[in-house]
Amino acid sequence: MSSSVSPKTAAPSVDVVVVGSINADQVVRVPRHPKPGETLLGSSLTHTAGGKGANQAVAAALQGARVAFVGAYGCDAYADVALEFLRSSGVYLAATRELDTNTGFAAIQVSDDGENSIVVIPGANEQVDAAFVSDNGSVIDDAAMVLLQGEVPASGFAQAVDMAVAAGRRVVVNLAPVIEVDREALLAADPLMVNEHEGGLVLEQLGLPVPAGDAARVAALLEAGFASVVMTLGARGALVASADAPEPVAVASPKVTAVDTTGAGDCFAGAFVAHMAAHPDQCDLVAAAEHAVRVAAFSVQHPGAQVSYPDKEAELPC
């Protein structure tokens, strides 16, 4: 059984509160992804920390942000694996709870060309609902911004947004995977951070047509009511736009050879909010994206998710 995270009596002042998922990742390296019904021989098997929420929290902490986490893990053998980098990177874990269930688990296949496929078993993450966030989310009052994803229940997502808005905190949403969430809670995102596919799904969720082309989707999301949008484009970088500056700005990614893209989008998100936290008076979304693409490009040159994330001392690709 995993040791429980010891609670503390008072939350510190933090830059970012991440409300999200914690997983143990089982990573299998394969020459290519198998076809249905096909058996392939893999080259390696590893277990490491993952979960989109935990990934983003670790990435932000390694880039110098003071990060607190609201989430849950199970009382099983995978808990210590899942918590390893949250602990070592200095993420504040007093609002992270051990529950009488299994830790979230992700089965990941990574092919020789660096592409991955992922199946997630939510486990304890399924219990991060409205009641859980209400009971454990007081740290939101002490933060500059709240970062959310789509790997916890929609009620927990909405509760976190409500608490952040009531406290006057900035809400950053990386709705991955795209789940059905409260419309007003979703539109509170500033920015909404999605890839090109997720951007289309968000528009569909809002009952809007999905135009072809990345820039057109960014424009449609702004028209839907989002204050700002960051669309990640993998190796091509990102597009950034806001209601005040609606013409999308292309941010190019450094050219690197990808070994494993697992968690790269989460690395981008964490580095993005860390840069925002480090420059609170500027609120320059383009500069934050320029930093985040470099951090994410560093990560894809190494296997794994959190284990591949650089700290502030790392030499980032240009």
The pLDDT tens digits for 211-259 are 999 999 999 999 999 999 999 999 999 999 999 999 999 999 999 999 8
The phi and psi torsions of 44 (rounded to 5 degrees) equal -160, 160
The phi and psi torsions of 131 (rounded to 5 degrees) equal -65, -40
CA distance 25 to 308: 13
More confident residue, 9 or 294: 294
Partner residues linked to 195 by β-bridges: 232
* Torsional class of 200: left (φ above 0), alpha (ψ -120 to 50), beta (otherwise): alpha
| 100 part of the active site | no
Residues of the binding site: 23-25, 51-55, 151, 195, 232-237, 260, 262, 265-266, 299, 302, 304, 308
Partner residues linked to 147 by β-bridges: 18, 172
28-32, 117-121, 261-265, range with the lowest pLDDT: 117-121
Any idea where the domains of the chain sit in the sequence? 14-22+51-103+125-300
Of 201, 208, 206, 161, which Cα lies nearest the Cα of 178? Answer: 201
- Active-site residue, selected from the candidate residues 266, 281, 284, 311: 266
Residues of the binding site for K(+): 260, 262, 299, 302, 304, 308
CA dihedral for 127, 60, 143, 283, sign (positive or negative)? negative
Q: Which pLDDT score, from 0 to 100, does residue 3 have?
A: 40
Q: Which pLDDT score, from 0 to 100, does residue 9 have?
A: 39
Condensed to tens digits (0 to 9), the pLDDT of residues 66-112 reads: 999 999 999 999 999 999 999 999 999 999 999 999 999 989 898 98
Instruction: Tell me if the domain spanning 14-22+51-103+125-300 has CATH number 3.40.50.1370.
Output: no
Query: What is the band of 2 on the pLDDT scale with cuts at 50, 70, 90?
Result: very low
Alpha helices in the chain (DSSP H): 52-62, 79-88, 130-136, 154-166, 183-187, 196-205, 214-224, 264-278, 285-299
CA distance 297 to 12: 31
**Single pTM value for the model:** 0.91
Q: Is the pLDDT of residue 149 over 60?
A: yes
Whole-number average pLDDT of the chain: 94
Q: Which pLDDT score, from 0 to 100, does residue 281 have?
A: 84
